[in-house]
Structure 1
Amino acid sequence: MALTADSPLTELLQENPKAAEILMRFGMGCVGCALASGETIRQAAEGHGIPLPELLEALGIEE
């Protein structure tokens, strides 16, 4: 299954462990926190004030 902006962070990290480095570069230092486990990529970007298109491009994900 292809990852999208609405995929959970946990799924992203399972599919691509190197995504953690990218998320941290964008200021998402709490990738492993309890809240992150229930968040989608979209929700995490919004919560951290990160432009979703930029994050998705860095992750190699199409919206």
Structure 2
Amino acid sequence: MKQIEKDTIIGDILDADPTTAQYFFEMGMHCLGCPASRGESVAEACEVHGVDVEEILEKLNAHISK
């Protein structure tokens, strides 16, 4: 995965790099196994969980660039 964006689907991120799950857990998203959460975009999940989308994108993209 080259770059994670607001509209990137969480399931696609987890499939490409399962170690990104920690960042979703940190934002309070503990239901990563359920089909609904895997089908959400990063922006949708951030809206539901009250998290700054730019902050999580920065963390995720820094992580996958390692």
**Alignment match, 2:43:** 42
Q: How many residues are aligned here?
A: 61
Unpaired runs of 5+ residues, structure 2, are none
Identity %: 31
Provide the C-alpha distance between the structure 1 equivalents of 2:4 and 2:54, rounded to a whole number of angstroms.
14
Give the CA RMSD over aligned residues.
1.5
**Alignment match, 2:25:** 24
Letter in 2 for 1:25: E
Larger % of helix: which? 2
The C-alpha deviation readout for 1:9-50, integer Å capped at 9, x for no partner, is 110101111111111012111112231122111101111110
Say if 1:36 and 1:3 are closer, same or farther in 2 by CA, change over 3 A: same
TM-score, normalization by structure 1: 0.82
Residue aligned with 2:18, SS? coil
TM-score, normalization by structure 2: 0.79
